[in-house]
Structure formats: C-alpha cells, structure tokens
Amino acid sequence: MPTLLSPTATALLPLCLGLAALPLCADSLEPMELPTVLSATRLKQAPAEVPGSMTVLDRELIRASGARSIPEILRLVPGMHVGYRRGNQMNVNLHGTNVTEARRLQVLVDGRSVYRPGLATVDWSELALAIEDIDRIEVFRGPNTAAYGANALMGVINIVTRLPLENHGTTLKYTQGTRGVRDVYASHSGGSLQHNWRMSLSTQQDNGFDHDKGGNDYRDGMRATRFNLRHAWQLTPNQTLNWQMAASEASRQSYYEFSTYFNHRKGSTPLDLAITAHQPDADIRGRDFSTLGLWKLDINPDHQLQVQAYAQHVERLRDWRVCESPVAFSPALLELSGLSQLAARRVRSYLESTQTESMDSYIDYYMGIEGEAYTPQMAELAARVRDQVPLYSNGDPVCGRVNENVRETRTHIEIQDILRLTPELRLLSGASYRHDRASSETFFNGTVDNQVTQLFGNLEYRPNQRWLFQAGGMYEYEQLIGDSFSPRLATHFFLAPLHSLRLVYAEAVRSPDMYENHASWRYRLRDVTGPLSGPLVHYGWARGPADLHQERMRSHEVGYNGHFPLLGLQLDVRAFQERVTGMNSEPLKVDDFRPDNRSSIRFKGAEGELDWAFSSMDRLRLTYAYIAFDASNKRDSRLTARHSGSAAWLREWPGQIRTSLIYYGADHLNELRFERLDSRIEKQFALADRSSLALALTWQYRLDDEALTWKENRFDSRSHYYLSAELNF
C-alpha cells in the first residue's frame, strides 16, 4: 500500500534522499541522543536548536593544537581574529574592529565573567587558568546580550573547565622550547561518591618577540604562576554544590612608556639628551584572585533551580621613574590643558615645527578644524608656555616616580530557573545583581563604582517536530549608564532531527567602561629631583565625558546546522549582516583623550565550519569566514580580514601515536598577512597499571614573512618548536 506524504514532506523528499547520512527523514522525526551546548541561551540545547552559530572546541582539538594560550586556540573559530600588541599582550575580536582593543566580547570561565569592568579588556596572559584544565571552549558567534548582558555585543566565549570527577590521579607535565618557552603543570584529583576535587599548579614563561622592525631587542617576555582548586559535592541525589578558587601572579616585561611633552629625540640640547637617555624598564605585575560557588537543585525532571555567586579581585601594578621637561609642569600649561587639551597639544606641535606664521594663527586654524574656539585667555597662556621653553633647554630634567596601578573588584550573584511548562514549552528565567569597583589614583583619581541589575529569560516553543520558535531578552539597569533591553527572536525549521534551517534577529548593547566614561587620568610625580620640587602634577589630563551612551548592534542571520552521524560529519554555515552604531573608536591617550559615540561599522559575510571524522582514526576540521565591512573610523578596519580560516587534520596511528597538522590563514590583520602551519606528534607509553607517559613535539612554521599584527612584532626565525613530557599516575 503506498505511503501518503504531506505536501511539506513531499517537498523535502529530494533533500532527504540527497542526505544519505539521514536514517530519519520525512515523517520520521523521533528525538535522537545529541551532544548539547550550554552557552547560547543558558539552556542545554542540541546544536541544531541553538539560535545562532556555535563553535565547540573540545579537549581533543585543544590538545592537538599544541597551543600554549587561549587566544591561539581561538584561531580555530571562524571569523575570530587574534591580534598581538606585544608578545605578552593579545587581543581577540570576532569579525574585527580596533586591533589594540577587545571591548566587545564577553569572556566567561565556568560562567564567571573575566571581562574587566574598569578598562574594558581581557588580560589573557594573567588568566588564572591552565590550558590543561580546560574541558572545552564554547563560542557563540554573534550578539548574545539577550543571554549575558552588555558586553556580549559580538559574541560570548565560555571556557568550561574539567570536572574533578574525571580521571582521579596525578599529572606532571614539563614543556620547553625555543623563544624561551618553559612551562610546568602539576595536578592531583581524588574523591569519593559524594566529594570530588582537583587541584592544579602551573607556571608559564617565554621571551615574547625577538626584535622590533629596527632590529633592536624586544623586551616583552612573560612569566605567570597559576593555582586552581575545584570541588564538586553531591549533597543529595538531586542537589549539587560546586565551588572553585583560582589565583594567579604574573609579570609582563615592558619597555619605557611615557609620552613627554616635547619629542626630545629630535633635539640636541642637554635637556633633550638627558631625557632621551632615560629609558628604565616599566614592567607590569598582575595579581588575580577569584572564588565561585554554584548550587543546583533538580526539583523534578521538568524543573531545575540554580544559584551562582562569585567574587574576584584584579590588580595591575606598574610604577617607574620618568624624566620630563620642567615646562610640562608649568602652571600656565596646566591651566591651558584644563581649558583645552587640543590647545595644549597645538602649542607643542607649533614649537616643534618650523612654522613661519604666528603661533596664534597656527593654533587658531587647527582648533577651528576641530570645532574649538581659541580664546584670548588661551593665547595668553600659550605665550607664557612658549617663553618658558628656552629657560630650561640647557638645564636638567625633572625626574620622579609615577604609577599606573589599578585594582578592580567584582561581586556577582545570580538565580536561574528552568521550567518545562508543557511538552512543547520550556522557559528559562533569572535575575542577577553585580557590583563593580575600579580604584586608581592615576586613572580615576580615586574610586569608581557601578551597580548592575539584570532580568533575563528565554522561551522555547516547539509546536511540532518541524518547527522551533525562541524568544529571549535581557533587561539591564546600570547605575552609571541607565537601562536597556536586548531582544532576540529565532525560528528553526527542521529538515530532520539533526538538521535545521534558522532565521535569527538580535539586538545587543555594549556599555562604555569606567575608563572611557569616567577617567580622570593624571600622572603625579613623587620623589622628585631636578629644578623643581615635588610632588608635581603632569600637564596631561584625560577626563571622561561621563555622558557616553551604549553602543548598539542589530543583527540578522540565516543559517544551517546539520549532523550526519553515519558519516561522522557536522556542518554549520551562516550568512549574516551586523551593524554597530554609537561606537567609541577615538584615541584614549592621556594627552589625546577623545571618547565619543560617533563611529559605526557594518559587517556582511558568511562563515562555515565542517568537522568530519571520516574514519575511526582520522578527523578533518575546516573553517572559513568571508567578511565585508564598512567602517566610519579607519581604526576599526585594522583587525578585520576579508578572508580567513583554518584546516586541521588529526590522526591516531597504531602504536599510540597521535599527529595533527593545522593551517591558519588571514589575508589582512592590520595590513599584514598571516599564514602559519602547526604540526604536532605525540607518543603514549604505558608504564604500569593506570600510569602512562606522553612525549610530544609541537612545531609552528610561518608561511609568510610578515610581522605579527604590528610591524615591530618580529621573530628571528619562522620556525618555533617546543617539547613536552607528561606523566600520569
């Protein structure tokens, strides 16, 4: 007897026949056991149900990459761009924008935000987290303020650490290689039916880049020590309590960074020579501490309640001795800078130039271009500054100690409820409260506080096996900014249980950080020597406007996610259009501090990733992103590659040998091409019962001859390798 198909099923039949790996198609849409992800909507969902594109970097892939840092692992994410300001300072941006900033990605470690509230960045080098402790990294590629609030503008990176229930025992690992690589990792885990714990201690160091574009030694090495403790407690059959503690101490080398009022390298007076010769080290010391607790209660199979709370403290300490012209501390220049930073800078540029026109005409012209008025009071102060310059040119500089110390704290508590209302309807709802504080005499002239309250939810409705509808949103109130609402709507049509087409519309926001909006940045000199007595205040004064509003994004996406279990193939592709308005892209220097909301950028493009286990021993993974963009500010075009991607082949050979070969490429990262081939070979040796030794060699080879992100970031050799030995018992 012939089978009668519905019109929809008839239309889909050719597609189903073409997907040979789909044993269930047409009217056969029974649920299947699927892998799940957590970071998209806070709900456990199969990849085909996620309202957006999700990349999951599993432990096998992380190990096969041989990467020593999380940003290097993220090169495996389509559309993710990694920039190096120096060897110990990395930035990660999805789709791009400014190469020196990473303001628009929310980064979580087990649900705890490591995005700094004071200076809007993620310090990857100082994270209190060892690569060996990571279970997987889930990356939501697209705006996700609806689930995680402001700062998830471009996406969310959630780093999930290993549960202490797995592989009880001890691990010792040592890595050494070129470029000063020397890493040590040790961990021990144990427990019982109710209690399980893991403790790890690790150190990491390297020398950074070898030399700058002039061939000079580049002082940008890094050393970090990290401690982690995680405990899982099964309170009752339906109740768990997990808590963890993490701490790190790091030192990042840095060269002398202090912008003097005049460019003394151009001069030859005794004052110029003395200031130019003063080049002390100005290293950055970091100390981080955090603790987190997560309580979960399964009320019944359809209802779960959880409460999460964490506290963290971040310190970045930097102090050094600077030398400057006495003119930079003159009362006239201080008063002029208070009236107009632009006028103070234009006095400097006039005195450094060989202009034939009068100083007043020169300054008035350039201030007019910027829309500022050059008043008689400013002209009088500028003349007094000019007359002071020759008085000090043959004398000694003013020297003293300054600092850029910053301390930031955050406390956060959140309650979340997941309830299946009917077989077709599931609701997630929650609320949170967060308090942020940033303290710095230099950057804030004291302390800035912010309180954030959030209400969020996601409704999932599946009327039948073909359709899934989702609506989510986040209401957020910030003490320093005001309130906002970020919605997301998504529709999925299922071709089969493991294959869906999706349409997604989302809005998102990013709040200006304390530094952008509330800075009061001035250098105060102590222990002063030279022609003036201290303490002294430098002329430069960066003041936040305190009225910046949030950046806003509107995003449209159409995508497909499919899993072919018989082929071992997973595929995700999407086309997107994103527009960000109200962006702050202007300089944020102490003598050139001009934050505003005037910039915008539009991204259009397509991304895809394919993960194919084409045999029991082989795994192939391909990613590609094409991004076209239109930025109103040239700074936001620096870290956007039109074409980028990766190709990875992982193989397990007989004799417990594993190899990987990975290609990374991007055609334009700050006007520099990037192509690299990484290879890794690992051999396992069984020593005794439950004991093993693993030896691995990782080799990275640059296929291009470009600097890395900036022209001064250079290595002596294209090759870089390191060896590791890992003992488990």
pLDDT at residue number 1: 36
* 211: β partners: 217, 714
The answer to whether 622 and 588 are in contact (CB under 8 A) is no
The answer to whether 479 and 452 are in contact (CB under 8 A) is yes
C-alpha closest to that of 352 among 231, 419, 474, 264: 264
Q: How far apart are CA 32 and CA 301, in angstroms?
A: 18
pLDDT at residue number 75: 96
pLDDT at residue number 37: 83
Tokens encoding 572: 């995700």
pLDDT at residue number 20: 34
Phi–psi pair at 114, nearest 5 degrees? -110, 10
pLDDT at residue number 34: 55
Q: How far apart are CA 679 and CA 349, in angstroms?
A: 51
C-alpha closest to that of 241 among 309, 148, 169: 309
pLDDT at residue number 9: 37
The strand pair at 112-113 and 446-461 is best described as unpaired
Per-residue three-class SS string for 14-49: HHHHHCCCCCCCCCCCCCCCCCCECCCCCCCECHHH
The answer to whether 470 and 490 are in contact (CB under 8 A) is yes
Indicate the SS3 state at residue 318: coil
pLDDT in tens, 467-495: 999 999 999 999 999 999 999 999 999 99
Report the CATH number of the 31-253+284-317+405-512+548-728 domain.
Answer: 2.40.170.20
Residue with the two structure tokens 């795994």: 619
pLDDT at residue number 15: 36
Sequence spans of domains, the chain:
31-253+284-317+405-512+548-728
Q: How far apart are CA 67 and CA 696, in angstroms?
A: 12
The beta-strand segments (E) located in 654-690 are: 657-669, 672-688
Q: How far apart are CA 691 and CA 182, in angstroms?
A: 24
pLDDT at residue number 18: 38
pLDDT at residue number 99: 66
pLDDT in tens, 276-326: 999 999 999 999 999 999 999 999 999 999 999 999 999 999 999 999 999
pLDDT at residue number 356: 80
pLDDT at residue number 6: 36
Tokens encoding 125: 């080098």
DSSP annotation string for 588-605: EETTEE---S-EEEEEEE
C-alpha closest to that of 156 among 33, 53, 15: 53
Question: Residues of the chain whose pLDDT is less than 50?
Answer: 1-33
